[in-house]
């Protein structure tokens, strides 16, 4: 071949027109919606801690830990080398490193240890960033965080366990909790025959003595889903003489012997693969009653209420991650002689993704503030009750297609496992299913509307605060109030009503707290009548560039 032949001078692996890895960015400093919300919603005092988490979540070393924890998933060890039943789960060291990171940065504890307003807002910001590093560890961190209000309904158990739970130390050793530097808490409610219908449970509890709050019981039955089965203790439901009751089940008995906690198998899940989810059996298992017999759902609902905050936060974090990765790729990739991010149709897609993400971030941070205020403000408590259900439903419904659309921005490279997009895509459905799937959540909204009219009053007061700011938002508020005014409720329409509640609340928050380009783009699409059925169908006149800039990272 002639030396002058241009083909002869081409290398086979010269890499051009590919984006640099998205790593070593501070995900907090680059997120203007999160930064403004942290201060606005009452946790500006935690900025240094949240910024530190933002740096870690964007650090290449932490990103690689997340990849390793998912590639090398948990393994069940039913017996030890000598045939003794141990029912333990082994995790890759990367999983433990991520759990140490989360614990040391107080993701699970800051809401309870801050002793100042804004603790739940700080927790939510930390969880939102941790999700972008690795979502699997958020499950045990969330349950540990959410266990506190339920345990406090049984003061003697809380007095013994709270110091362990709120410790900043992560101790993965399988030994009695009294010998550990920190403890994690899990939850096991659902059974094969009932799922979300926990009143169909068949697990039984028998009092060892007289029974009653704090007393010892023996449990017998099964649980279909038990996430993080290596936790040090679990909150669970079982039927006692007076009805469905809440119990505290430690992995080790007070005498230092292993409790009967039989792990039958680990679930082979679509996503969330770094985290173990198990089927377990109780067979004479030691437990203590939390609260009163027969009031188990009412007792454990405080834990569920707090896990739902995180099941709303995590998808908001994943939305942010998907939007940022799509913008990053499009800014460093050229097609048809133009940068992707400069092409009008791609601008529409990117702006739409960023709008959805910012609306989710602003919503979840506002909900978090209502958790902080709920202890002393009845209107805030009522608002948190219904707003978290609305947020959990809607953000999770929007997430899977959001991630898919962001993946498509990457082309074929986004479909291979070297990219973060496949793991993010597999993770996207989990929070919609966990702690109540879509229909269950919408029925919760319906129950709140019927049984807690104060929650509707608080919701209406929130959206009415923006009355007159935008005609499209005003129209949405009026339509929603018409829905609320109807005395007969059509259960079949609750998804539509819950969706309308979410969009109206997001529009109201963006109108108050986001730049005009973002608020107008949201109202013109989500609340207007000129929007398509896929991302990338924003109407003409939307300020694409100003919106996209909200997810743009540049090297300083």
Distance CA 59, CA 136 (A): 17
Tokens of 281: 């059996």
pLDDT-derived band of residue 488, with 50, 70 and 90 as boundaries? confident
Q: Given this model, what pLDDT does residue 486 score?
A: 86
Given a cut of 70, is residue 432 above it in pLDDT? yes
pLDDT in tens, 212-224: 999 999 999 999 9
Q: Please tell me whether residue 448 adopts helix, strand or coil conformation.
A: helix
pLDDT in tens, 131-166: 999 999 999 999 999 999 999 999 999 999 999 999
pLDDT-derived band of residue 1, with 50, 70 and 90 as boundaries? very low
Note whether 500 and 527 are within 8 A (CB): no
Distance CA 167, CA 196 (A): 32
Alpha carbon 415 to its chain's center: 24
pLDDT in tens, 45-56: 999 999 999 999
In percent, the amount of the chain with pLDDT more than 70 equals 98
Tokens of 67: 């990849």
Angle at 350 between CA 344 and CA 355, to 5 degrees: 125
pLDDT-derived band of residue 245, with 50, 70 and 90 as boundaries? very high
Distance CA 521, CA 540 (A): 10
pLDDT in tens, 536-551: 999 999 999 999 999 9
H/E stretch holding 75 reads strand 75-79
Cβ-count burial 347-377 (b if 16+ within 10 Å, e if not): bbbbbbbbbbbbbbbbbbbbbbbbbbbbeee
Given a cut of 70, is residue 125 above it in pLDDT? yes
Tokens of 526: 């989500």
Note whether 440 and 371 are within 8 A (CB): no
pLDDT in tens, 394-419: 999 999 999 999 999 999 999 999 99
Strands 185-188 and 233-240: what pairing? parallel
Average pLDDT over residues 2-30: 79
pLDDT-derived band of residue 14, with 50, 70 and 90 as boundaries? confident
Q: Please tell me whether residue 252 adopts helix, strand or coil conformation.
A: strand
pLDDT in tens, 91-110: 999 999 999 999 999 999 99
pLDDT in tens, 435-444: 889 999 999 9
Q: Given this model, what pLDDT does residue 12 score?
A: 72
H/E stretch holding 249 reads strand 243-250
Given a cut of 60, is residue 4 above it in pLDDT? no
Tokens of 287: 């437990």
pLDDT-derived band of residue 196, with 50, 70 and 90 as boundaries? confident
pLDDT in tens, 310-351: 999 999 999 999 999 999 999 999 999 999 999 999 999 999
In percent, the amount of the chain with pLDDT more than 90 equals 91
**pTM, 2 dp:** 0.96
Angle at 111 between CA 108 and CA 114, to 5 degrees: 115
């Amino acid at each position: 071949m002639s030396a002058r032949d241009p083909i002869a001078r081409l290398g086979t692996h010269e890499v051009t027109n590919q984006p640099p890895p998205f790593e070593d960015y501070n995900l907090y400093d680059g997120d203007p919606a999160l930064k403004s919300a942290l201060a606005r919603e009452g946790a500006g005092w935690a900025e240094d801690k949240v910024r530190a988490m933002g740096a870690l979540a964007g650090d290449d070393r932490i990103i690689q830990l997340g990849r390793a924890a998912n590639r090398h998933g948990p393994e069940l060890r039913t017996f030890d080398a000598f045939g003794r039943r141990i029912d333990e789960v082994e995790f890759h060291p990367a999983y433990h490193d991520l759990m140490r990171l989360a614990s040391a940065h107080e993701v699970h504890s800051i809401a309870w240890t801050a002793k100042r307003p804004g603790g739940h807002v700080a927790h939510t910001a930390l969880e939102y960033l941790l999700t972008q590093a690795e979502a699997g560890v958020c499950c045990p961190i969330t349950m540990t965080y959410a266990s506190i209000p339920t345990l406090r309904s049984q003061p003697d158990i809380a007095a013994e366990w709270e110091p362990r739970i709120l410790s900043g130390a992560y101790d993965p050793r399988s030994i009695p909790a009294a010998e550990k530097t920190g403890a994690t808490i899990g939850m096991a409610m659902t059974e094969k025959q009932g799922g979300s219908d926990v009143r169909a449970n068949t697990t039984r509890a028998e009092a060892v003595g007289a029974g009653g709050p704090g007393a010892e019981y023996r449990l017998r039955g099964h649980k279909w889903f038990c996430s993080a089965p290596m936790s040090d203790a679990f909150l669970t439901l079982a039927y006692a003489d007076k009805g469905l009751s809440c119990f505290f089940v430690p992995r080790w008995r007070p005498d230092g012997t292993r409790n009967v906690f039989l792990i039958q198998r680990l679930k082979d899940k679509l996503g969330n693969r770094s985290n173990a989810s198990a089927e377990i059996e109780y067979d004479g298992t030691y437990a203590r009653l939390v609260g009163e017999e027969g009031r188990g759902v009412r007792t454990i609902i405080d834990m569920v209420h707090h896990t739902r905050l995180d099941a709303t936060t995590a998808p908001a974090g994943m939305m942010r991650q998907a939007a940022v990765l799509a913008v990053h790729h499009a800014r460093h990739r050229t097609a048809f002689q133009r940068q992707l991010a400069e092409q009008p149709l791609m601008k529409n897609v990117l702006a739409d993704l960023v709008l959805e993400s910012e609306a989710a971030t602003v919503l979840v941070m506002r909900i978090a503030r209502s958790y902080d205020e709920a202890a002393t403000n009845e209107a805030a408590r009522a608002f948190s009750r219904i707003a978290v259900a609305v947020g959990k439903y809607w953000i999770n419904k929007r997430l899977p297609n959001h991630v898919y659309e962001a993946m498509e921005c990457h082309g074929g490279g986004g479909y291979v496992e070297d990219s973060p997009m496949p793991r993010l895509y597999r993770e996207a459905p989990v929070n919609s299913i966990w702690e109540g799937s879509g229909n269950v959540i919408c029925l919760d909204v319906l129950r709140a509307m019927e049984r807690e009219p104060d929650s509707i009053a608080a919701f209406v007061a929130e959206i009415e605060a923006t009355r007159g700011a935008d005609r499209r938002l005003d129209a949405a508020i009026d339509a929603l109030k018409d829905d609320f005014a109807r005395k007969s409720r059509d259960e079949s329409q609750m998804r539509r009503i819950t969706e309308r509640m979410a969009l109206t609340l997001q529009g109201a928050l963006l109108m108050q707290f986001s730049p005009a380009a973002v608020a107008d783009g949201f109202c013109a699409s989500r609340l207007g009548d000129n929007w398509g059925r896929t991302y990338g169908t924003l109407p003409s006149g939307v300020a694409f560039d100003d919106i996209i800039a909200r997810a743009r990272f540049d090297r300083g």
